[in-house]
Structure 1
Amino acid sequence: MILEALGSAVLGLVLAWAAVHRLSHRLPAPTLVFATGLAGALFGDFVTHSALGPGSALLSLLGAAIISAASLSLLLRPAGRLRRRSAPA
C-alpha cells in the first residue's frame, strides 16, 4: 500500500513536470501545477484502490494517472485572447 501510494505520487509529479515543461505558457504557477498533479494522483489512487480492493496495483496506478491528468487539465487557460463580439442587433 505504501509503495503504491509512493508510485502514484511519483507518477503525479512526472505528469505535472511534463505539463509544466510542455504547456508552461498556459498554466498558472508551477508550484500549483505540481501540487495539483500530486493531489490528483493520490486521490485517483485512493478512489481506484477503494473501488477495486487490494491486489490491483497496476489498475490503481492507471486510475491515479487518469485523475491526475484530468485535474491538471482543469488548470489550462485558453491559448489565445478571447474575442468578444457583440450580437447583431
Structure 2
Amino acid sequence: MIVEALGSAGLGLLLAWTALHRLSHRLPARALVLSTGVAGALFGDFVARTALGPGHVLLSLLGALVVSVASLSLLLRPTGRLRRRSVTA
C-alpha cells in the first residue's frame, strides 16, 4: 500500500512537471501546480482503491492519473483575452 501511494505521488509529480514544461505560460505558480498534481493523484488513488479494493494496482494508478489530470486542468488559464461583446453593446 505504501508503494502504491508513492507510485501515485510520483505519477502526479511527473504529470505536474510535464504540464509545467509544456504549458508554463498558462499555469500559476510552480509550487501550486506541483502540489496540486501530487494531491490529485493521491486522492484519485484513494478513491479508486476504496472503490475497487486491494489487488487492483493498475486500476488504482489509472484512477490517480485521471484525478490528477482533472485537478491540473482546473488550474489552466485562457490563452488570450476574451473579446466577446454583449448583445446590447
TM-score w.r.t. structure 1 length? 0.96
Measured in 2, the distance between the counterparts of 1:86 and 1:37 equals 37
Measured in 1, the distance between the counterparts of 2:76 and 2:15 equals 14
The SS at the match of 1:75 is coil
Q: What's the C-alpha RMSD, in Å, of the aligned pairs?
A: 1.0
Question: For residues 4-83 of structure 1, what are the structure 2 equivalents within 5 Å?
Answer: 4-83=4-83
Task: Measure how far apart 1:88 and its partner are.
Answer: 3.9
The SS at the match of 1:51 is helix
Q: Note the residue ranges of structure 1 that are not aligned, 5 or more in a row.
A: none
1:55-89 per-residue CA deviation (whole Å, 9 max, x = no partner) reads 00110000000000000000000011111413246
Measured in 2, the distance between the counterparts of 1:72 and 1:86 equals 31
Identity of paired residues, percent? 75
The SS at the match of 1:83 is coil
Measured in 2, the distance between the counterparts of 1:13 and 1:77 equals 20
Measured in 2, the distance between the counterparts of 1:45 and 1:75 equals 20
